[in-house]
């Protein structure tokens, strides 16, 4: 699996439809200060479901939408599509190319799509779990992240190794099942109470 393409429109400084092609191997993005290099990595985080505006270097979620310039009006929505080559089947879906799209309007509503089919954020999170690519994956190492990794609690550091080992998916499912079990047990207690009252 590798990152093939990025389509950005209306996201931060990218007012116009912009397509960035990534070839196999290393791609460097160069440009003067403030030209939008970091906005490219922000776009990748955002399309993969980043919900923290602090991580995206803004104050409110609306800040990711192109806010206009002296010569250009602000735009009403931001849209990013990320395309992966999945010929090796790393992403557990029957497509050799996988695209994920996120669109957000000024009202704050986000729409998500996997290969152009509307989906939930949860579906995107699950799809990329254990691939290292998700918004918390170890494939995005932002400025200061190395220091952060070294200084965080061992519990948090363990999460990175768990993702690399491919067990996050199973841990998440276990947690969901435990929650369901707890709910069922609570329901059983309630039913027993009702039965007791009726007898
Ligand atoms: P440096 O090399 O200094 O780290 P950079 O190339 O990484 O810079 P970015 O931080 O990606 O630059 O981009 C900053 C630019 O993006 C600024 O000019 C800022 O005005 C612009 N920008 C950020 N958010 C928006 C927005 N919502 N609408 C329009 N422009 C925006």
Q: Is residue 10 part of a domain?
A: yes
User: Tokens in use for 124?
Assistant: 């995107």
Residuewise pLDDT in 10s, the chain (199 residues): 999 999 999 999 999 999 999 988 889 999 999 999 999 999 999 999 988 898 899 999 999 999 999 999 999 999 999 999 999 999 999 999 999 999 999 998 899 999 999 999 999 999 998 888 876 667 788 777 777 778 778 887 887 788 778 788 888 899 999 999 999 999 999 999 999 999 8
Q: Is residue 134 part of a domain?
A: no
Rounded to two decimals, the ipTM of the complex is 0.96
CATH code (residue 121): 3.40.50.300
- The Cα 191–Cα 161 span in angstroms is 43
Q: Is residue 32 part of a domain?
A: yes
User: How many structural domains does the chain have?
Assistant: 1
Distance between Cα 39 and ligand 1 center (Å): 6
Q: Is residue 158 part of a domain?
A: no
85 touches 1 (CB < 8 A): yes
Distance between Cα 52 and ligand 1 center (Å): 17
CA angle at residue 148 from 146 to 152, to 5 degrees? 125
Instruction: Please name which of 108, 110, 121 lies closest in space to residue 63, comparing C-alpha atoms.
Output: 108
Q: Is residue 48 part of a domain?
A: yes
Q: Is residue 198 part of a domain?
A: no
Residues annotated as binding site for ATP? Answer: 32-39
Q: Provide the residue range defining the domain that includes 119.
A: 2-128
């Amino acid at each position: 699996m590798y990152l093939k393409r990025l389509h950005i429109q209306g996201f931060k400084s990218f007012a116009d439809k912009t397509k960035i092609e990534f070839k196999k191997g290393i791609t460097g993005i160069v440009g003067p200060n403030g030209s939008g290099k970091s906005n490219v990595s922000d776009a990748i985080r955002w399309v993969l479901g980043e919900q923290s505006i602090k991580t995206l270097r803004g104050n409110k979620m609306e800040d990711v939408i192109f806010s206009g310039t002296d010569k250009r009006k602000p735009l009403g929505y931001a849209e990013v599509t990320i395309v992966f080559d999945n010929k090796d089947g790393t992403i557990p879906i029957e497509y050799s190319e996988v695209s994920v799209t996120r669109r957000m309007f000024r009202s704050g509503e986000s729409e998500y799509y996997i290969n152009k089919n509307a989906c939930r954020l949860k579906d995107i999170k699950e799809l990329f779990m254990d691939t290292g690519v998700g918004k918390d994956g170890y494939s995005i190492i932002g400025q200061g992240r190395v220091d952060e990794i070294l200084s965080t609690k061992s519990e948090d550091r363990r999460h990175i190794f768990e993702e690399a080992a491919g067990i996050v998916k199973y841990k998440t499912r276990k947690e969901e099942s435990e929650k369901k079990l707890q709910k069922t047990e609570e329901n059983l207690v309630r039913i027993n109470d009702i039965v007791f009252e009726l007898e």
